[in-house]
Structure 1
């Protein structure tokens, strides 16, 4: 019986040390500084944004998740002929100048974009949760531009 509390404490410690628990909130997320000319761009950043949320990037530009445009993806547990597609609308606002709005899709079928280049960043929609306000997982890569 004394073993049970010790086991519970070990499990809690393992959960607290997991990468998910240590992941920064999008508004606090930061990427490494841009590489010097001739250097390789830094590792990509993974952001998880909720609908209406925004994140500040290292160059002080911002990325905002504005809307879920449509979601025709096959529901979980159902066999479909086509996987479907979901589209989200985002805005990238540079430090100087007007913002640029764009859409990203979960499926590239039909030539729909799953990535977009904004300033020195390539933004890729990696996954999108289900529901009326799904969280979007975005991969942000500095292109070295």
Structure 2
């Protein structure tokens, strides 16, 4: 069975329950979950608005990243979803989960999955601060 159970770039709210269910596996002794949420500040400045945009190749790049992680670690299942569009404070922007036979493998693979997603998948964050300034942050950050 393919270890990659769920991948997606979505303009609708993300579900922790859906991601956890996708990686459920009786062969797994450990499952990790990471939820990246919209916070109320960045660089010490208050954030008033945040949106994400994705390049048309983002889903293919997400699959490439997931395949590399699944090939480099002995995982039984993994999932990753990222939100695009306008998000509110506290909204889930990204969720990744990994299941493996042992907790160490699950933690290591999960860390690689979120780090590579953030650095290699062409998704950009646009932040608007309370002082009216803006910032774009994206792949390669």
TM-score bin (small chain): under 0.3
The TM-score, its normalising length taken from structure 1, stands at 0.22
Query: Which has more helix, going by share of residues?
Result: 2
Structure number with the bigger relative contact order (C-alpha 8 A, sep ≥ 6) is: 2
**Greater percentage in strand:** 2
Larger Rg: 1
